[in-house]
Every structure is written in C-alpha cells, then in structure tokens.
Chain A
Amino acid sequence: MKLTDIFKKKSSSEMAKDRLKLVLVSDRSSCSPEIMERIKNDILEVLSKYVEVDQAGLDIKFTQMDTEGVTSDSKTVPALYANIPIKNMKHSAKN
C-alpha cells in the first residue's frame, strides 16, 4: 500500500476487484493440503542434496504477484512463494 492510498478512499468497484482477485487465487490454486505437503517434501528432497535446510522455518505457499515489465497493464498471476532458511552449505556438493 502506498502512503497516498491512505488519503483517498477506494471506489467500491475497485474494492470488489481487489477482493475478487485475492479470493480467486486461492480458489484457482485448489491445492489440497495433501498436495501442498507433497510439493514441500519434493522441494526439500532436492535441496537437501546440496544444502542443509532449517525445516522449522520453512514457509511454502501459493500467493499472487504482479507481472513485471513487458506490458504497462499490471496483471496479477498466481505464484509459489517459498521461504527456505538454509543452515549450512554442504561442501561436498560444491565439486
């Protein structure tokens, strides 16, 4: 949110658009917790070959983000957000 946004009230149609975009991201991903868990485990499995991952701090979820550049019209697309803290690099993988 920009600072200027605080001073102007959004029109109700803009509110509707924003709310819809958000709700549709989760509707569309229709990703069951089961699948999410499998995605998480698969990512971990691959990463573990190279680095030591802090499993407690792991955060993986579907969200939405703006497409950057290319065109002037801003569109939001679903994105996989992953925050994976790394404890240690595995030196053997470097070779």
Chain B
Amino acid sequence: MGEVIVVTSGKGGVGKTTTTANLGTGLAKLNKKVVLIDTDIGLRNLDVVMGLENRIVYNLVDVVEGSCKVKQAMIRDKRYDTLFLLPAAQTKDKTSVTPDQMKKLAEELKQEFDYVIMDCPAGIEQGFKNAIAGAERAVVVTTPEVSAVRDADRIIGLLEANEIGKTQLVVNRLRPEMVKRGDMMSAEDVIDILAVDLLGVVPDDENIVVATNNGEPLAGDSSLAGQAYMNICRRIMGESVPFLNLEDKRGFFAALAGVFRK
C-alpha cells in the first residue's frame, strides 16, 4: 500500500511543479513506483517540466468522468520505467473535478504505486481542496521571502485543519551568499517562524532552468540542486540523511554572524 503526498505552497511560482517532478524522478531512481498527478486543471505544467507534453492522450478529467481508464491516461516517463504522469486537462476548469473524486482516485492508485504525488495549484480554492483530498502527507514548498513564507503559514494551518497527518517544509531557491551577508532569511529562520519540520533545502541553481528547458528533472545528478532533491527523496522514504555540507557550513556561519551582531 502506497502513500499519497501533496506538494503545495499557497503562493505561485515558488517551485511546486519543479519539486513534484524531482520527487518523482528521484524516487523512481531509488526504484520506487511513482505516479505524479497534475491537479492544476486549466493550467497544466508538470507535463512540460517532465518533457512528456507530446505524449498526452487522455487527462485527469477524462479519468474522473469515466471517459477512459486510469491506465490509458497515465504516461510512462521517458527515462524511468517506474515513473508515471497523470496530466491535467488544459481546456476544462477546476470545478470539473471534486475532492471526493480525487480521494477515490488516490485510493485506487495507492494500491499499485509506492507513492502518489499530487502537484497542487497555487491558491486555496477548489484546486487546493482537490489536491489535498486524498493526501496523507504534505510537502510545503516555500522560498525565503516574506510573501512566500506568509502563504506557507496559511497553507500549513489549512493542512492541519484538514487533518493531513504529516507536513514537512522544503525551502527552495536559497542563496547561501545572500544568507551569509544577512540579506536573505536562512532555512533555520524560516523553520523557526513556521514551526514545522524541515524536509530539505534546495539552493538556487541555474541547472534547474536548464533541466526544465530540456524537460529532464535533475534529481540525482551531480548539481547541488540535484543532490538536494535526492536527499529529500531519501528523507521521504524515511532515511535520515544529513543536510548538504554546504548548507551545514552556511547554517553555522549564519549562526556565528548572528552571535556577533548581538
């Protein structure tokens, strides 16, 4: 029996879709059977980040409406045999799917997959409710900016209210050099404010842009972001993985700087 995870953030553009794609890629690399569901109906994106946009025949709305079987709509990844994508519909709107339907779909898929990962749209309306409906666990993505952290706080509250068992945070697009000179909140600062468990820190990395250009998520490659995502995947599987060396150092220096400033 698999686990259903929702990747969410509240604010748009903080890296939910990139995180979802990399979780899928990383977990598949670790020999897990994974299906990614793009729940952002009307604005689908996960397909292009995964590089699978040319293979779409059916979509999520077709599945819940019964126009096709789940198996027909799922697209196998180009590189990993155990990774699948269930794309969103581009021409429908968010009300085409209900939370109950999503819950049923999640129940069905987790019989077969180790991980069912929902890519949640921005906002807290119907799309959000659909995405969290079947989830047992949440990964909240934020960047170290006031607007994103504020929205993450709101989302964490809503996840609690909806009794999502486990909520963990990914701090995305961290720039160590800015943290060092006191111009960006550190992951520790963000955790301190949000009072939530840290799942991982992903540095701001140009390789992410290149990977998205190519439609090949970089989890597991030698880039810093690739390593960070792989560590996140291991932690999702329950392994205890130390945070990247660079981040440890940065955390230490940030703490040191904090002491001297006082």
**A residues engaging B (CB < 8 A)?**
8, 11-14, 16-17, 19-21, 23-24, 27-28, 30, 75
Whether A17 contacts B185 by the Cβ 8 Å rule is yes
Interchain CA distance A72-B120 in the complex, whole Å: 39
B78 at the interface (CB under 8 A from A): no
Known: A11-B261, A20-B149. 12 other contacts (CB 8 A): A8-B261, A11-B183, A12-B183, A13-B144, A16-B146, A17-B189, A20-B146, A21-B193, A27-B153, A27-B154, A28-B153, A28-B157
A-B contact count (CB 8 A): 41
Please measure, in the bound complex, the distance between the C-alpha atom of A27 and the C-alpha atom of B181, giving whole angstroms.
Answer: 29
- Once the chains bind, are B184 and A13 in contact (CB under 8 Å)? yes
In the bound complex, residues from chain A placing their C-beta under 8 Å from that of B144 are: 13
Query: For the complex, what is the distance from the CA of A13 to the CA of B46, rounded to whole Å?
Result: 32
Q: Known contacts A20-B149, A21-B193, A24-B193; is A13 also within 8 Å of B182 by CB?
A: yes
Q: Which residues of A contact B181 (CB under 8 A)?
A: 11
Question: How near does chain A come to B250, taking the closest CB pair, in angstroms?
Answer: 13
Question: Interface 1/0s, chain B 141-175, versus A by CB < 8 A?
Answer: 00011100110011001000000000000000000
Which 5 interchain pairs have the tightest Cβ spacing?
A11-B182, A13-B185, A12-B183, A16-B146, A13-B182
Cβ contact within 8 Å between A19 and B183: no
14 contacting pairs across A/B (C-beta < 8 A): A8-B261, A11-B182, A12-B182, A13-B184, A16-B146, A17-B193, A19-B146, A20-B149, A21-B193, A23-B146, A23-B150, A24-B150, A24-B153, A28-B153
Q: Which residues of B contact A23 (CB under 8 A)?
A: 146, 150
Q: Could you mark each residue 176-207 of chain B with 1 if its beta carbon is under 8 Å from any beta carbon of chain A, else 0?
A: 00010111111001001100000000000000
Q: State in angstroms the CA–CA spacing of A75 and B182 once bound together.
A: 20
Known A-B contacts A20-B193, A21-B193, A24-B193; A13 and B186 likewise in contact (beta carbons under 8 Å): yes
Residues of B within 8 A of A14 (CB): 182
A4 to B12, CA, bound (A): 39
Q: Given A11-B182, A13-B184, A14-B182, are A27 and B150 also a contact pair (CB < 8 Å)?
A: yes
B94 CB → nearest A CB, Å = 24
In the complex, A11→B182 CA distance in Å? 5
Q: Is A20 a contact of B150 with CB atoms below 8 Å?
A: yes
Q: How far is the CA of A57 from the CA of B232 in the complex (A)?
A: 54
Residue of B144, B185, B186 ringed by the most chain A CB atoms within 10 A: B185
* Cα(A16)–Cα(B261), bound, Å: 16
